[in-house]
A and B are shown apart, each in its own frame.
Chain A
Amino acid sequence: MAVQAERRPLGDSAKAWALNAPAMIVIALLVAYPIAYSFWVSLQRDNLKRPRAKQFIGFDNYQALLSDQAFLSALKVSALFVLVVLGLTVVLALILALVLNERFRGRGLLLSLALLPWAMPGVVNGLMWRTIFDAKTGALNGLLTQLGLIAEYQAWLTSGTGAFLFTALAQVWNTLPFSVIILLAGLSTIPSELYDAATVDRAGAVQRFVQVTLPWLLHPLLIVLILETMNAFRAFDTIYVLTGGGPGDATTTIALLDVQTVLTFTDVGLGSAYAWVITAITLLISVGYIGLLYRKGNFEV
C-alpha cells in the first residue's frame, strides 16, 4: 500500500498519449512513412532496371510532366472519366436513394440487391463486365440481338468512345451503392414534419425536393462528391481488365499510367511523381467542393 501511495497518477493528457501511442506508431510505420518515402522517391531518378543511374534530381520528375505527352493525355482522359462517372453516379444514386427511402413491399430485398455491386472487388467487376461486353458471346450482344435492336454482334470495346463509355458504366455500377448508402442515411435524418409543413403550404413534389430534400442532402452530397471523385480518379482495376487502357490511349487514365510506369516500366521515381500529382489534384478538388458546398448546408447529418 505504501508503494502504491508513492506513485503519482498520470495526467489525462499523458494517459491519452500513452493509450494512443501504439496506434500512432503503427500508423506512422504503415501509413506516414510510406507516404513520405514515396515523396522522397519522386525526387529521384530511380528506375529499378538501372540502379546505377539512381540520383537525386529534385523536382525534375514533376517538371518533366509538363511536356510528358503520355501524362497529359492520361490527365485529360482521367478528367473526362471523373466527369462522366461522377455525373452518372450522383444522378443515379440520388434517384435510387429516393426510391429506397420510401416504404414499400420488397424494399429490404431491393436494398440488399442494390448493395451487392459494392461488395464486388474491382477486378471481379471488370471480369464480369468483360464477359457481358464480349464481342462473340457477350450477354449485351445476346440481349440486344434478341430484342431486335442490333442485327449482328458488335465489338463494343473496339472504338475509343465505346470503350470509354462502357468502362465508365462498369465503374459506376461498382461504386454506385456506396453513394446510395450515404444519401439514404442523409434522407433518413430529414424530419417528416418539414415535408408535412411543405405539403400544407401546397408545395409540389419538385418544390419539396428543391426546398427541403436538397438542402438537407448537401453534406452527404459533399461526401459523395469527394469520395467518388477520388475513386474515379484512382480507378484502375476495372479499366485494366476491360480494356488495358486501349484502344490506343482512349481509356488510359492517370492511375493506369501510374501502375504501368511503376510495375511494368519499373520507373519508381516518375511513377511516384504521378502518384503525388493524383493526390494533389484530388486534394484540390476536395477543397474546392468543401468551399462550394460546406457552408451552404444548414443541418448536421
Chain B
Amino acid sequence: MELNRRQILKYAGLGLALPAASPLLSACSNDKSAGSGDGSVKFEGWDYEAALVQQNLDNFTKTSTIKVNYTPITSAQYVQKVVAEFTGGGGPDALYVYDDSLAGWVEGDYLQPLDGMAGVDEVYAAIYPGNASAMTYQGKRYGLPYYTDSNCLTYNADILAKAGITKPPASLEELEAQAVKIKNAGLLKYPIGVPAQLSDTWWSWVWALVFGSGGNMFDDQQAPIMNTTDTVVKDVFAWLQQAANKSKVIDPACLQLLPVPIDNAMKANRYAYTIGARYASRDYNDATKSKAAGKIRMALIPSLDGQVHGTVSNTRLYALAKDTEVKDNAFKLLTYLGGLDANKQPYTAKFWFLQRGLGFAYRSMATDPEITASLKKFADPAIYAHLGEIAKPRNVLGMPWYTEFETEMHKVVQGVLSNQTQPSAAVASLAQSAATLKKKYS
C-alpha cells in the first residue's frame, strides 16, 4: 500500500488521538469492573484522613489478598457526588454513609441490607442502641459502624475557676448564671459560643439541647409535637433567646460563625462554653494546636430542670452497594472496617479511636484499658461513656424531607437568637414547615 502525505497525517492524527481518547471513554464508562475483573473492591469515602484510611486498607489487602480501590471524595461534595455516581449507574461497591443520608439512599436503591450476613447480628448486639437504630431503616440493617459521636457541654475549667466556679452547670439556668458571672468578672464578654451560620450540615447543638431536657421535636410516627404535646423545644428556644438577648452571654457573632471558627475560639480561650461533639475535646486539649490545652473538660448537656439528661448522637457507617458484583469481597471489607475481627475485637474502630479519637459504637471499648488510658488524656472516661449510653439519634432521619426540615430549623433558630422570632412563633413555624413537607412528600 502506498502512503501519501494526507494518509500519513491522517494516521498520525489517529495515533495521537486514541491514547488521549481512551481515558476519556473509560471515564465515561459505568462498568465498575472495567480494568479489574480480579474481585477488587471499589471503595469510596469522604476525605477525612485519607492517608490513614489507605494505610488501614493496605493492611486489609495484606491479610485478605483482596485488592481495594479506594477513592476519597471531598466531604463538602460527598453526598452529591455519590448520588450522581449511583444515578449514573457507576457507584462504588462499598462506601461511607451519613446516618442522615441512609433513608434516601435506601429509597434510591443504592444500598442493600446486611441482615443475615455473617457476624451482623453479633455487631448489632455489641453496639449502643442509638447507633443500631441509626443504621436501621424500615426494620432492615444497612451498615456496620464507622464512628459515632454524641454531643456534650465543653467548658474551659481555667476560665470557670478564675470566676470562682468549681463545677460545670447541670441546668440551663445554672449555665446562664455561670456565664453571667464570667462576664461580670470581666473575663469574657460573651462566654458561650455555638456555630449558627447557615450551612448544609446539621446543627447538633440544637438537637442536643432539646434531647438534653428530655424533649423531642417529633413523636414516634414522625409527627411534629414541638408545638403541641412537647413544650421542651419552646422552653429551650426561650432560654436561647434570653441568653442571647437579655443576659447577652451567647455571642451575637455566632450567626456568622461556622464550626471551625468556634473550635478556634475555644482553642484560643475566647469562649468558656460550647456545645458540640465529644471528639473536639481531643483537639482542644492538644498542646500543639491549642492554647487551651489541658483546660478543656466535658460535661453532660445542661437541661431545663437540671435533673434529666440526654443528648443526640450521630452515626457514620459502612454500607454495601445494592448492585455490587463483588458482594463477598465487599462484605469482607465491611466486616474488617466496621465489624469484629477473629478475636471478636472491633479492630478498625479501635484503630480510629487510638489514632484520631473518633467515637466508637462498641460498648466494650468503653472499658478497654488501652482506650480509657488514651481517653484520659482529653476527657473523663466516665462522662464520655455516660454520654454514649444516653445519646439517641434524631428520629426523623428516615424521612425524605428531613434535610429540608433541618435547613428550615436553622433559619428559625437564627430568628430566635437574633430576637426576630418569639419562641412560640418559632415552634409554630417549625410545626407548619414539617406539616407542609410531609404533605409535599406524601
The interface of chain A, by Cβ under 8 A from chain B, is 47-52, 133-136, 155-160, 163, 243-249, 260, 263-266
- Known A-B contacts A49-B107, A157-B256, A158-B256; the reply to A248 vs B200 at CB < 8 A is no
Extra contacts, 8 of them, besides A159-B418, A246-B197 (Cβ < 8 A), are: A50-B108, A50-B400, A51-B109, A158-B255, A247-B255, A248-B415, A248-B420, A264-B407
30 contacts between A and B (CB under 8 A): A47-B400, A48-B83, A48-B108, A49-B105, A49-B107, A49-B108, A50-B107, A50-B400, A51-B109, A133-B256, A135-B257, A155-B255, A156-B256, A158-B255, A243-B198, A243-B256, A244-B198, A246-B198, A246-B255, A246-B411, A247-B255, A247-B414, A247-B418, A247-B420, A248-B411, A248-B418, A249-B411, A264-B200, A265-B403, A266-B104
Q: How far is the CA of A163 from the CA of B105 in the complex (A)?
A: 36
Q: Mark B376-401, 1 if CB is under 8 A from A, else 0.
A: 00000000000000000000000010
Taking a contact as CB atoms under 8 Å apart, the answer to whether B197 and A51 are in contact is: no
| Min CB–CB distance A164 → chain B (angstroms) | 13
B80 an interface residue at 8 Å Cβ cutoff?
A: yes
- Known A-B contacts A260-B407, A264-B200; the reply to A50 vs B441 at CB < 8 A is yes
Q: For residue B256, which residue of chain A has the nearest CB?
A: A157
A248 contacts across to B, CB distance below 8 A: 411, 414-415, 418, 420
B404 an interface residue at 8 Å Cβ cutoff?
A: yes
A260 contacts across to B, CB distance below 8 A: 407
Taking a contact as CB atoms under 8 Å apart, the answer to whether B420 and A135 are in contact is: no
Q: For residue A155, which residue of chain B has the nearest CB?
A: B253
The interface of chain B, by Cβ under 8 A from chain A, is 80, 83, 87, 103-105, 107-109, 197-200, 251-253, 255-257, 261, 265, 270, 400, 403-404, 407, 410-411, 414-415, 418, 420, 441
Q: How far is the CA of A133 from the CA of B257 in the complex (A)?
A: 11
User: Which 3 A-B residue pairings sit nearest by Cβ, starting from the closest?
Assistant: A244-B198, A49-B104, A135-B253
B441 contacts across to A, CB distance below 8 A: 50
CB-contact partner of B252 in A155, A249, A266, under 8 A = A155
Q: How far is the CA of A125 from the CA of B154 in the complex (A)?
A: 34
Q: For residue B104, which residue of chain A has the nearest CB?
A: A49
A52 contacts across to B, CB distance below 8 A: 107
- Known A-B contacts A243-B198, A246-B414, A247-B414; the reply to A158 vs B107 at CB < 8 A is no
CB-contact partner of A244 in B199, B253, B265, B270, under 8 A = B199
B415 contacts across to A, CB distance below 8 A: 247-248
Q: For residue A51, which residue of chain B has the nearest CB?
A: B108
A136 contacts across to B, CB distance below 8 A: 253, 261, 265, 270
| Min CB–CB distance B236 → chain A (angstroms) | 19
Q: How far is the CA of A244 from the CA of B76 in the complex (A)?
A: 14
Q: How far is the CA of A144 from the CA of B261 in the complex (A)?
A: 22
Q: How far is the CA of A249 from the CA of B400 in the complex (A)?
A: 23
Taking a contact as CB atoms under 8 Å apart, the answer to whether A48 and B87 are in contact is: yes
Q: How far is the CA of A243 from the CA of B257 in the complex (A)?
A: 9
> Which residue of A51, A133, A158, A163 has the most chain B CB atoms within 10 A of its CB atom?
A158
Q: How far is the CA of A160 from the CA of B255 in the complex (A)?
A: 11
A51 contacts across to B, CB distance below 8 A: 107-109
- Known A-B contacts A50-B107, A50-B108, A245-B198; the reply to A263 vs B80 at CB < 8 A is yes
Q: How far is the CA of A248 from the CA of B256 in the complex (A)?
A: 12
CB-contact partner of A49 in B253, B256, B400, B411, under 8 A = B400
| Min CB–CB distance A265 → chain B (angstroms) | 5
A243 contacts across to B, CB distance below 8 A: 197-198, 256
Q: How far is the CA of A52 from the CA of B106 in the complex (A)?
A: 11
Q: How far is the CA of A244 from the CA of B414 in the complex (A)?
A: 12
A156 contacts across to B, CB distance below 8 A: 256
Q: For residue A136, which residue of chain B has the nearest CB?
A: B253
Q: How far is the CA of A228 from the CA of B181 in the complex (A)?
A: 52
| Min CB–CB distance A152 → chain B (angstroms) | 8
Q: How far is the CA of A49 from the CA of B265 in the complex (A)?
A: 37
A48 contacts across to B, CB distance below 8 A: 83, 87, 104, 108
Q: For residue A261, which residue of chain B has the nearest CB?
A: B404
B404 contacts across to A, CB distance below 8 A: 265
| Min CB–CB distance B422 → chain A (angstroms) | 14
Q: How far is the CA of A120 from the CA of B253 in the complex (A)?
A: 27
Taking a contact as CB atoms under 8 Å apart, the answer to whether A244 and B403 are in contact is: no
Q: For residue B77, which residue of chain A has the nearest CB?
A: A263
> Which residue of A49, A51, A160, A266 has the most chain B CB atoms within 10 A of its CB atom?
A49
Q: How far is the CA of A133 from the CA of B197 in the complex (A)?
A: 14
Q: How far is the CA of A199 from the CA of B115 in the complex (A)?
A: 89
Q: How far is the CA of A245 from the CA of B198 in the complex (A)?
A: 7
| Min CB–CB distance A150 → chain B (angstroms) | 14
| Min CB–CB distance A277 → chain B (angstroms) | 18
> Which residue of B109, B251, B414 has the most chain A CB atoms within 10 A of its CB atom?
B414
> Which residue of A50, A248, A249 has the most chain B CB atoms within 10 A of its CB atom?
A248
B199 contacts across to A, CB distance below 8 A: 244
- Known A-B contacts A51-B107, A246-B411; the reply to A264 vs B403 at CB < 8 A is yes
| Min CB–CB distance B76 → chain A (angstroms) | 10
B83 contacts across to A, CB distance below 8 A: 48, 266
Q: How far is the CA of A276 from the CA of B163 in the complex (A)?
A: 58
Q: How far is the CA of A52 from the CA of B251 in the complex (A)?
A: 45
| Min CB–CB distance A73 → chain B (angstroms) | 10
Taking a contact as CB atoms under 8 Å apart, the answer to whether A157 and B255 are in contact is: yes
B87 contacts across to A, CB distance below 8 A: 48
Q: How far is the CA of A245 from the CA of B410 in the complex (A)?
A: 11
Q: How far is the CA of A247 from the CA of B254 in the complex (A)?
A: 11
Q: How far is the CA of A263 from the CA of B81 in the complex (A)?
A: 10
